[in-house]
Amino acid sequence: MSTRTSRRHLLCWQLLLGAVFILAAKVQAYERIASLNLCLDQVLLNWAQPADIASLTWLSAAEQYRSLPIPEHVQLNRARAEELLPLKPDLVLAGQYGAQRAAERLQALGMNVVTIPDAYSLEQLQQQLGALQAVLGPLPPLQEQKRALAQLLDQPAAKQRASAVILSANNITYGSGMLEHQLLQRAGFDNLATTQGLARISLEEVIALQPDLLVFYGSEQHFALAYLAARHPVLQRYIDSGRTYTLPKQLSLCPVLAVVDTLQQLMDKREALVQ
């Protein structure tokens, strides 16, 4: 057999094996995915192919939770098993706590139900990304989020730290044991609410603590910056000088989608402050 013929045969085998791998991946991929959880709705809308989504919860269409348009073919459910049975999804994603009755019923009827654990810390978010990748496969946006988070967490601690306080609706702040506190710490901020042992913080206490950065957290409807600024001129000076940051709403709804951008933005904010 000539060298040219051998190379031709080798090329044919490579092409054939490539086609086999593509077909195998297609067979193993889920093409009709349903969700019983608001955060998992958002994960699918952001990372999965629209054609692969069969059903999402009705909450994703609600104005206060809507982040992306819902494809016309997607059916909305209220976490009832009888709603999903006619759709015949090949994968049903459930949260750790919500819609457990529907998830158990669907599983008992032979459907492929996978529970994705909730995440309330940076470590749990890394585990959640791993769990999502294990079931959804190597979706490029998911892989990129996982890589980016690992890269940010591997960065050495900031040498020059700044101080911050989180102010949310009803004067609620966030201390140790909370994801928001972890984000501040990782970004190089000392959370003054934690050092003072505070769970709630008044505007007067914020002003007395004099943090380098004032972090706002809450819906615009109940927690408008203009309203706060009108209550105290010091807050207006924080706003005018750029010494404020607003945590995104997505961080409370589905932190796995928002954690990388939030952490990077807080790191950039600290860098600007210390300079």
Contact 245, 238 (CB under 8 A): no
Q: What pTM did the predictor assign?
A: 0.83
- List the one residue out of 173, 169, 187 whose CA is nearest residue 227: 169
Q: What confidence score (pLDDT) does residue 228 get?
A: 62
Q: What confidence score (pLDDT) does residue 129 get?
A: 96
Q: Which residues touch 35 (CB under 8 Å, ≥6 apart)?
A: 41, 43, 44, 53, 55, 56, 57, 92, 93
Domains in the chain: ranges and CATH: 33-151 (3.40.50.1980), 159-274 (3.40.50.1980)
Q: Kindly indicate the confidence band of residue 213, based on its pLDDT and cuts at 50, 70 and 90.
A: very high
- List the one residue out of 235, 125, 244 whose CA is nearest residue 183: 125
The stretch 235-255 carries a mean pLDDT of 90
The stretch 251-270 carries a mean pLDDT of 96
Cβ-based neighbour number of residue 186 at 10 Å: 18
Q: Is the C-alpha dihedral spanning 262, 40, 119, 47 positive or negative?
A: negative
pLDDT at 3 over 90: no
Contact 169, 218 (CB under 8 A): yes
pLDDT at 27 over 50: no
For the stretch 77-127, pLDDT in tens is 999 999 999 999 999 999 988 888 999 999 999 999 999 999 999 999 999
* Alpha carbon separation from 105 to 36, 41, 61, 85 (Å, rounded): 13, 20, 25, 10
Mean per-residue pLDDT over the chain, rounded? 85
Strand pairing class (53-57; 75-77): parallel
pLDDT at 157 over 90: no
Q: Give the HSE-up count for residue 186: Cα atoms under 13 Å, Cβ half-sphere.
A: 23
Q: What confidence score (pLDDT) does residue 87 get?
A: 94
The stretch 136-149 carries a mean pLDDT of 95
Q: What confidence score (pLDDT) does residue 63 get?
A: 85
pLDDT at 187 over 90: yes
Q: What confidence score (pLDDT) does residue 224 get?
A: 58
